[in-house]
Amino acid sequence: MQHSSLVPPVQTAAVRIQTLKVGPVAGRLRGILGLYLKPKTLDEAISVLASSGGQILAGGTDFYPALGERLPQGNVVDISGLGEIRGIVTDEHHIRIGGLTTWMEVIQSPLPPCFDALKAAARSVGSVQIQNRGTVAGNLCNASPAADGVPPLLALDAEVELSSSIAQRRMPLTQFIIGNRKTARQPGEILTGVMIPRQLENAPSAFLKLGARRYLVISISMVAVVVQSDGGRVSDARVAVGSCSATARRLVALEKDLVGKPAAAGLASSVRPEHLSPLAPIDDVRATAEYRRDASLTLIRRALEACVGRQ
Ligand SMILES: Cc1cc2nc3c(=O)[nH]c(=O)nc-3n(C[C@H](O)[C@H](O)[C@H](O)COP(=O)(O)OP(=O)(O)OC[C@H]3O[C@@H](n4cnc5c(N)ncnc54)[C@H](O)[C@@H]3O)c2cc1C
């Protein structure tokens, strides 16, 4: 573990407070603001989180809007300088998306067909400016029910890697996101990678998102589908739906029912409303629960047809 000195390249108000002579105002502000720290290596980041604690800041596209008019409480550990956890690499069994990889890097990386859904989701995250800053890991750690990255990664059986001063552990994404903005991440853990098994890498995939308008929109429903076929029949199918429950859900009964069906136009007719029973959509300003259920059914059918149209 390295213990080099942490010199934040950007002097924020929080850091400047440390240099003020101790007076009643500086003392009060220090208590409220904490430190802004920008480690240069993963080891430094892990060590700083273990010793001083703090909130992790990556692209900041969820972090800052969540603050509203408030200032961050406590220390902020800006991990945006950790080049070693940025980018996408392939090994024998997995494709690994580093914990600081942005949506734009996902869009621009050459990836096999099973990633078409994730790429489509990446293109739908906010705008180009947001895609340039926002990271895949930030999307997962923020754990919004409407996070566009979650259904495609659930459909790919993704696992997350969490690194801390105590250990490095891996867990399936299904176990990592445990509720509306709740994850199994422990304080001091950095999400350092997302691992996707390569079994279905050549299977076509599709992502469809319905919102009140085309761009810069939070979804009413979104669907990610992967369909593998063998000898003209579906041999494996993955269907995940977001924005229709506290956490995005895989529709396991539907996936089982699709196996063995002809991988051809008409596959959508296998999807019945009962297949959506694991979902628990709510009424809110964006749509009613009933509309969400109906829209999801249509999106699933269209996504399946899009996949078999490319077999
Ligand atoms: C205008 C606008 C439009 C948007 N549109 C969409 C959209 O269409 N779809 C969508 O899904 N999202 C959207 N977002 C949300 C956001 O852009 C994404 O969720 C993005 O992927 C967040 O990544 P980030 O790096 O900016 O995370 P940050 O804001 O830096 O962090 C988010 C949370 O994750 C934690 N965190 C970040 N990285 C790590 C890590 N490696 N390890 C541990 N914890 C970490 C932070 O502590 C924080 O709690 C939008 C945001 C804005 C401002």
Please give the pLDDT value at position 4: 37
Q: Is 203 in the pocket of ligand 1 (CB under 6 A)?
A: no
The predicted structure's pLDDT at residue 214: 80
Task: Give the Cβ contact number of residue 3 at 10 Å.
Answer: 10
Question: How much distance in Å is there from the Cα of 63 to the middle of ligand 1?
Answer: 7
Pocket probe mutation, ligand 1, options 46, 61, 163, max atoms within 8 Å of Cβ:
61
135 Cα to the center of ligand 1, angstroms: 6
Who's near 283: CB < 8 A, 6+ residues apart?
A: 289
Q: Is the CB of 65 under 6 A from ligand 1?
A: yes
Which residue type sits at 116? D
From residue 10, give the alpha-carbon distance in Å to each of 13, 35, 46, 66, 213: 10, 12, 20, 21, 37
pLDDT tens-place values along the chain, 311 residues long: 333 334 343 333 334 334 334 455 555 555 567 899 999 999 999 999 999 999 999 999 999 999 999 999 999 999 999 999 999 999 999 999 999 999 999 999 999 999 999 999 999 999 999 999 999 999 999 999 999 999 999 999 999 999 999 999 999 999 999 999 999 999 999 999 999 999 999 999 999 999 988 888 889 999 999 999 999 999 999 999 999 999 999 999 999 999 999 999 999 999 999 999 999 999 888 999 999 999 999 999 999 999 999 76
Task: Report pLDDT for 23.
Answer: 52
Ligand 1 centroid from CA 232, angstroms: 40
> Of the candidates 120, 133, 29, which has an alpha carbon nearest to the alpha carbon of residue 78?
133
Question: What's the CA-to-centroid distance between 218 and ligand 1, angstroms?
Answer: 13
Q: What is the pLDDT of residue 166?
A: 96
Q: Is 98 in the pocket of ligand 1 (CB under 6 A)?
A: no
Q: What is the position in ligand 1's atom list of the atom closest to the CA of 57?
A: 30
Burial string for 270-308 (b: 16+ CB within 10 Å, else e) reads bbeeebbeebebeeeebbeeeebbbbbbebbbebbbbbb
Using DSSP, state whether 23 is helix, strand or coil. Answer: coil
Calpha distance 254→175 (Å, rounded): 21
Structure confidence at residue 13 (pLDDT): 35
Protein residue with its CA nearest to atom 38 in ligand 1? 138
Summarised one tens digit per residue, pLDDT across range 215-232 is 888 899 999 999 999 999
- List phi, psi (to 5°) of 208: -130, 135
Whole-Å CA distances, 220 to 71, 74, 78, 217, 224: 31, 34, 32, 9, 14
Two structure tokens written together for 244: 């229709």
The overall pTM is greater than 0.85: yes
Structure tokens at 228: 């593998």
C-beta 59 within 6 A of ligand 1? yes
Residue carrying structure tokens 């009962």: 274
Q: Ligand 1 pocket, 145 CB below 6 A?
A: no
70 vs 64, 73, 211, CA distance in Å? 9, 9, 29
Query: What is the whole-number distance in angstroms between the Cα of residue 23 and the centre of ligand 1?
Result: 36
Position 212 scores a pLDDT of: 85
